[in-house]
Amino acid sequence: MQIQLEAQPDPADRDFIHQQIRQFNNLVSPQHLAAREPGVIQPLCIFIHDDMGQIVGGLTADTYWNWLDIDDFWIQETLRRQGFGQKLLTMAEAEARRRGCWRAQLKTFDFQARDFYARFGYRVVGVMEDYPPGGAFYWMRKDFEE
């Protein structure tokens, strides 16, 4: 056996390790196996376009396992604090509920939108202090009302 540190690994080697984890997850978690079937993970994306058709804001997410998994949420700075964020979040949650979701989750940094999400019922379920140095990283969730 030989163990070696590689600062510039072959992408195929990284992918091999990733695929081994996926294979293990498929064996021990029926939910992971089922999520790999076509159509189980459904994109949920909402975009704001200006009069020229350019994207000036949006929310990208997926729905699966009865969860809304918010990935990215951005609004052009000149459009912030005008209700667009609330509108996008409300639309995403409504569509997620229509798809059978009961909860939502997202990740954010302290310099991003933690307080914004908290105003709409998201609560911190995990925090990593000093990530990045001097900052904090938050994992948040919301349970939708019945």
117 three-state secondary structure: helix
pLDDT for residue 57 is more than 70: yes
What pLDDT sits at residue 8? 94
Assign a CATH topology to domain 41-143.
Answer: Aminopeptidase (3.40.630)
Categorise residue 117: left if φ over 0, alpha if ψ from -120 to 50, beta otherwise. Answer: alpha
pLDDT for residue 146 is more than 70: no
What percentage of the chain has pLDDT greater than the value 70?
99
- Is there a contact between 142 and 104 (Cβ–Cβ < 8 Å)? yes
For the chain, give every domain's residue range. Answer: 9-40, 41-143
Q: Give pTM, 2 decimals.
A: 0.86
pLDDT for residue 140 is more than 90: yes
